[in-house]
A = this chain, B = another copy of it.
Amino acid sequence: MASIGVDIGGTKVLGVLLEESTVVRRVKLATPSQPADLAKSVENVVGELGGADSVGVGIAGLVQFPEGVFAWGPHVAGTRLPLRDQLEELLDVPIVVDSDANTAAYAEMTIGNGRGYSNMLLVTLGTGIGGAIVIGGRLYRGDSFAGEWGHMLYQPNGRQCACGKQGCWETVASGPALAALATAFVSENPSGSLSHLLSDTAITGKAVTQAADAGDEVARGLVTQVGADFGRGLCNLIAIFDPEVVVVGGGLGSIGESILGPARRVAADALHGAAHRMLPPILVAGLGPDAGAIGAGLMAQEVAENGIESV
């Protein structure tokens, strides 16, 4: 049964056409700046992919579930947007709308690196930090909005966050946080090797990780620093949930060991009662940054077959 999964992020709308659980086509558009255009852009993605028997959408932010109302999010414009209702009018197939972190977790628990675990945390590390909770093999959403640990207080009076508050965890562990560290370093060391490497490009998290991959020591140090702050926050989550596994996705998280290595070292050292327990495995997402879109498609298949209560 073919389904389409769509991941609406802060900058792009990614759609995948799935046959069973295999991606057979992808399409990417820019995220519209007007909330009123969001449903239309999903319709466009579905049209470009040729349609399907069911459509799932993951969106970055707070989503009322199962109603599929996008309540609000710091990275996508819109409030109280009845996205599921709008899409049901535009597309004559079963629709499910959830947070992008929940759809990513659904993919990882079904066909990714969370498969076989009963209790899993999915942490997305990209423009911000998102999260989803699997307990007893099922997504746990609380009253809808669970998993927003990117906005744990991490640095009292710290950097301004996109959410409007200060010092949230994602202000020190995210792509923009890595870019901010590099920007500060370059402005203080304008003749250094990193300045040279980044001189022809906008300083983004991705540019810094590429400089690190190219062997630049300063860039490596900055990636390690972000990995360490990521790990210190993971340590909080592990103390809170004592999960069997932590799976890390998102654009920055999916680069793997250069972030996860320092994260694991810090988490192992800082974990409450570390001498008397084991750190659970901290794994990279098996489906990489496409997990959100793939999971939305898998969730749509399940909803079409067994109803919304089944996911």
A: which residues have CB within 8 A of B?
A: 62, 71-73, 79-80, 119, 131, 135-136, 140-149, 151-156, 163, 165, 232-233, 235-237, 239-244, 270, 272-273, 275-277, 280
Describe A's contact surface by its main secondary structure.
loop
State whether A148 and B62 are in contact (beta carbons under 8 Å apart), knowing that A154-B153, A156-B155 are contacts in the complex. Answer: no
Q: Is the CB of B243 within 8 A of A142?
A: yes
Contacts of A149 in B (CB 8 A): 236, 239-240
State whether A272 and B151 are in contact (beta carbons under 8 Å apart), knowing that A146-B240, A240-B240 are contacts in the complex. Answer: yes
Contacts of A151 in B (CB 8 A): 239, 272
Q: Is the CB of A142 within 8 A of B156?
A: no
For the complex formed, measure the closest distance between the CB of A87 and the CB atoms of chain B, giving whole angstroms. 21
- Alpha-carbon separation in the docked complex, A80 to B152 (Å): 32
For the complex formed, measure the closest distance between the CB of A249 and the CB atoms of chain B, giving whole angstroms. 18
Contacts of A152 in B (CB 8 A): 152, 236, 239-240
Q: Is the CB of A277 within 8 A of B145?
A: yes
State whether A163 and B272 are in contact (beta carbons under 8 Å apart), knowing that A143-B242, A147-B240, A151-B239 are contacts in the complex. Answer: yes
Q: Which residue of chain B has the shortest Cβ distance to A161 in the bound complex?
A: B272
Q: Could you write out 22 A-B pairs with CB less than 8 Å apart?
A: A62-B277, A72-B275, A72-B276, A73-B273, A119-B142, A142-B241, A142-B242, A143-B244, A144-B242, A145-B242, A145-B272, A146-B240, A148-B239, A148-B272, A153-B233, A153-B235, A153-B270, A155-B156, A163-B272, A163-B273, A165-B272, A240-B240
Q: Is the CB of A273 within 8 A of B143?
A: no
Q: Which residue of chain B has the shortest Cβ distance to A278 in the bound complex?
A: B143
The 6 closest A-B pairs by CB, nearest first: A142-B242, A151-B272, A72-B276, A146-B242, A148-B239, A145-B242
Q: Is the CB of B280 within 8 A of A143?
A: yes
